[in-house]
Amino acid sequence: MSKPPADAVRPARRTQTERSTDTQERILAAATEVMRKHGYAGLRVADVTAAAGVSRGAQTHHFPSKVELVQAIFARIFQQASHASLARASAVARGDDVIAALIEDASAFFLGQDFTLGLDMLAAAGRDPELREAVQDSARLNRFAVEGMWTQVLESHGLSRADADDVLWLAFSAIRGLSVRLLWDRDPERFERVKTLAYDAARRLYDSKRAVA
């Protein structure tokens, strides 16, 4: 059998840092799926390591405690949601219906699969001061970034900063309220009707503020 050419390109070996990062991401992805299925109370390290395909030692090396693992999960899902929201806000062009885009972004976040998970973690955080502080900091950091971006978009469409904040609060509060209602009362037809009413209310406020700007 002939030998490969001396100058043949060989796959580069991953560094220790790259392998460590990959393992950490596998653990977080697996832990997120476990929490989606079983909630915070049902999060078991054995289930996470089995789903991630790593040893218990590898898991505890990266996340020595359940609290640290949950903190990392919460930060991960909020970062992912924030990146998606920032992309949607950045895509709004000058002639687009900015209120429709705002309502759809709010729906994507508050009605997404991880919002309920976030509520579960926030409830759990209330019983653990260390977890509560980390979860609240992560939520504030990511949601304030999203709200700041949407405020800039609304300002670029002719609103003052104060008026942009009012429109944002109205739209986000309405959709957030609907998402919480869906936890115990699923009525798709009413939901869509009220969602349209939320759009109409935000649109009227937006139009009225632009008229006097």
Q: Evaluate if residue 99 carries a pLDDT over 90.
A: yes
Alpha helices in 39-112 (DSSP H): 45-52, 56-62, 66-90, 98-110
Could you report the per-residue pLDDT of 119-130, keeping only the tens digit for each? Answer: 887 777 777 787
Query: Does residue 5 carry a pLDDT above 80?
Result: no
Domain range 65-212, its CATH number among 3.30.470, 1.10.3470, 3.40.50, 1.10.357: 1.10.357
Q: What is the band of 136 on the pLDDT scale with cuts at 50, 70, 90?
A: confident
Confidence class of residue 144 from pLDDT cuts 50, 70 and 90?
very high
Inform me whether the pLDDT recorded for 1 exceeds 70.
no
- Report the alpha-carbon distance of residue 5 to residue 180 in Å, rounded: 64
Instruction: Extract the tokens encoding 113.
Output: 């699969």
CATH 1.10.287 fits 16-64, yes or no: no
- Does the predicted TM-score (pTM) go above 0.85? no
Compute CA distances 1 → 4, 11, 185, whole Å: 9, 21, 70
Q: What percent of the chain has pLDDT over 70?
A: 94
Most confident listed range (1-10, 28-37, 133-142, 168-177): 168-177
Q: How far is CA 138 from CA 73, 74, 113, 196, 200, in A?
A: 11, 7, 18, 31, 32
- Confirm whether 16-64 and 65-212 share one CATH topology: no
Please name which of 76, 98, 119, 93 lies closest in space to residue 171, comparing C-alpha atoms.
98
Confidence of residue 9 (pLDDT cuts 50, 70, 90): low
Label residue 51 by pLDDT band (50, 70, 90). very high
Q: What are the structural domain ranges in the chain?
A: 16-64, 65-212
pLDDT tens digit string along 153-184?
999 999 999 999 999 999 999 999 999 888 88
